[in-house]
Amino acid sequence: MEYVERLMEKRDELIDKYAAIVLKNDLTEKEKQERRSINEEIIYIDFEIEKAKKEI
């Protein structure tokens, strides 16, 4: 269960970063790439959380 909690904390941090980027106007190409990368990481963590919950 500790693993799931750590994943959820990491997910919350990424969501905060993602929200800050999304709220900006006129994103640079680097920011757009960072947004995509964070989004992919969030999706991966979501799958890891679900997988870990099933194993408990």
The residue type of 12 is: D
What residue numbers bound the domain in which 9 lies? 2-55
CA dist., res. 28 & res. 8, Å (int): 29
- Whether pLDDT at 1 is above 90: no
Cα separation values, 5 from 15, 20, 26, 38, 45, Å: 15, 23, 35, 19, 11
Q: Tell me: the pLDDT tens digits for 2-44?
A: 999 999 999 999 999 999 999 999 999 999 999 999 999 999 9
CA dist., res. 26 & res. 46, Å (int): 28
Question: Can you tell me which residue has the tokens 């799958």?
Answer: 47
User: What pLDDT is attached to residue 13?
Assistant: 98
Q: Return the higher-pLDDT residue of 22 and 56.
A: 22
CA dist., res. 9 & res. 30, Å (int): 25
Name the domain count of the chain. Answer: 1
User: What pLDDT is attached to residue 56?
Assistant: 77
- Reported pTM: 0.88
User: What pLDDT is attached to residue 4?
Assistant: 95
